[in-house]
Structure 1
């Protein structure tokens, strides 16, 4: 005995294999570089704080470099040294402290992401 279906057939729902593949490709392409660059961004924030503290505490270029190096040792900053800071002083007081550096973040095999960081503390 055969049973006839009289209603419309509903399309199946759910994630297809193609959908999963596209999701994995998007994850690898966009999320992985973002995740791998987080430590670099955290170090940039630490550098910004250290430069600000060094500028506030020091009155000469040598003192700024020394104060930055001390804070860099505490915060484990390795991308930049106190001697790399550009100190702008005018009339015996420090006007601003600038810094700039590049950081390479390895992604996939020979492919990497180069990020240029810079900042000024006035």
Structure 2
């Protein structure tokens, strides 16, 4: 019985030093990526709110662009401007869409490319601006 108890205690030792260093390294890597991605995600959500607000502010493409630019100044939106919006008339309604890419340098030659798009269309499908 004593031998069995000694074997149980010996097998429950915890994490090794190498395991701890590896775990902390992975945690730091995930935190670094998160610190760079979260601000772009917040900006994307601000852009989505701004196009909904701009859509209600005017009936012409120029009015919508100007309203979006005002929202962009207040909301610290730097990735796109009013001229980057795709504004289409859909019967009596107007659909406003956007699409952009954000390249985030990580370290050395490694970078992360995020593709954001959004629309006010009821279908939920964003119209991309022709290149």
Cα RMSD over matched residues? 1.9
Unaligned runs of 5+ in 2: 122-131
Shift of 1:72: 0.2
Question: What's 1:78 paired with?
Answer: 78
State the aligned residue count: 116
CA distance in structure 1 between the partners assigned to 2:84 and 2:110 by the alignment: 28
The separation in 1 between residues aligned to 2:20 and 2:107, in whole angstroms, is 21
Q: List gaps (5 residues or longer) in structure 1.
A: 1-5
The 3-state SS of whatever aligns with 1:14 is coil
Counterpart of 2:87 in structure 1 is 87
| Alpha-carbon distance between aligned partners in 1 of 2:93 and 2:108, rounded to the nearest angstrom | 44
Normalising by structure 2, report the TM-score. Answer: 0.79
What is residue 3 of structure 1 aligned with on the other side?
Answer: none
Q: TM-score scaled by structure 1?
A: 0.84
Kindly report structure 1 stretches of 4+ aligned residues shifted beyond 4 Å: none
Question: 1:22-66 CA distances to partner (integer Å, 9 max, x unpaired)?
Answer: 212322443421232000000000000000100111100000000
Equivalence for 1:98: 97
